[in-house]
Structure 1
Amino acid sequence: MTSQETALDKRFALAKLLAQEGGAMALDYFNRRDSLVIETKRDLQDVVSIADRNVEKLIRDRVEVLFPEDGFLGEEFGLTAGTSGYTWVVDPIDGTAPFVNGMPNWCVSVAVLHEGVPVVGVIGAPCHGELYAAAAGRGAKLNGKVLTLDPSRTIENALTGIGANSHVTPEAVADIVSRLLQAGGNFIRNGSGALMLAYVAAGRLVGYYEPYMHAWDCLAGYCLVKEAGGWYHPFPTEGERLTKGSPVVAAGPGARAALAKLAQLD
């Protein structure tokens, strides 16, 4: 095993541990959510709680102790540059709106980039008792079971995840849904883009498209989808672009062309 492989495996092991520990902390807050103070960020639909901040702090502090040379980008506390070529990208609770409203559609998302490429992706869904884990060249697993995507599943015979937020106009979202339905597909939105990307890797959804999404929402899911045999549209990770939003598209092998068309990538 090369030193680079060893470095990746050490970070992969830590990412799985932190997704579980962070998930346990988040689940405890979820079960006591009536006592949480809920704030809004850029609009009334964009909410945050002390749970988000404390879960991110737990993960950030552990990474800083074990890999102090690594960079770290979290949704709540921003980007800290590193020198190792590795950057952790974390959403402590993706799906905060479902979380604070008592729905189970939320997760802890932990990705690691190496030279800008997602090489580790771990998503913990505590309410479902699920841990999705992938690393470059090591495949993707759900609770230890290998995930392999079925190329016979298409937008016509499966479900596609669609994401929306206030960065995108209602008219644009309506157009996406309309074109998907006209193409013979059907859609679902559960309030967590990261979790829907994990569902693509698990074959529960055949694809996912959101016109504007952040790195902490998608990069763990991207690694999962790729290692399960799927495809994703690259996210810009150079410098400060990593902190900006971008279109996010991922698909199983039987839906790649249809999702690229839906996202108008041609």
Structure 2
Amino acid sequence: MDLTCTRLTPALGATVALPPGPLAVTDELGDRLHAALMEHLVLVLPAAGLTPGEMVALGETLGELGARHHSYVTHPDSEDVVVLTWGGDQKPDAAEWHADMTYRAEPPFASILQAVDVPRVGGDTLWASMYAVHDALDPGLRSDLEQLAAVHDMGAFRTPAYLDGGAEGITDAFVRAGTAVHPMIAHHPVTGRPYLNVSESFTRFVVGLSAPESARLLTYLFDLVNRPDFHVRLKWEPGTVAIWDNRGTQHYAVADYLPHRREMHRVAVVTDRRTPAPRPAEGLTAPV
């Protein structure tokens, strides 16, 4: 099976021309898509028009599913398909740069998102290459960041938690969502490339710094992610599918379409079945 990929920007993204006819979801297709994903980070499949079952099957060719969000609803046909619907006076919660669920110790490897109902104008999604952001850093700063880690938590999801249950609601939401500490410079398990691993949505504090030092450093890094040099932008059509590597990218769902309606379906792929399991560090005992 041959897939033709057309690059969208120098930083990241490609449109994938699928073979004509119904999509045959096979391991061979998963192999081809995975290889393209490692190169381009974001893949756009125009007019794919997948059913919930086909989205799940496609996700399973890439890895294990199940990284369900702590607050979103799922599709009646599959608990692995999250339904994201906004409209009226509801303020969307993804209009911030983020990688999905980094408040977990093991964030999902990839996401598959399909447009179901989109406004005539607006509601685009942008992705940023965190490889490119890393490479744009001053070498001295890169070296410093290699030694640092940062705390990630659920960020603005505190607001609905508070509205639903007050201070106890926030505490309960933290328990459900989790909190994680990640290196500020991570290395991709497949490509080995370093990437910046902080986001304005979920990164709260740099371990070992004072509050003012942490805030100044994170603000600088968040501003850098905003540069359009590192971005690709997708105008959705119903049936368009995007697949992205959650490790080397961040994304931003533009909230410029209200009060019009936007409905998307998403499948989160927890593990990368083509990535070897990490080997235990020398001198440590592997868990049984």
User: TM-score over 0.5 for the alignment?
Assistant: no
> Quick check: which one's helix share is greater?
1
State TM-score, norm by structure 1. 0.28
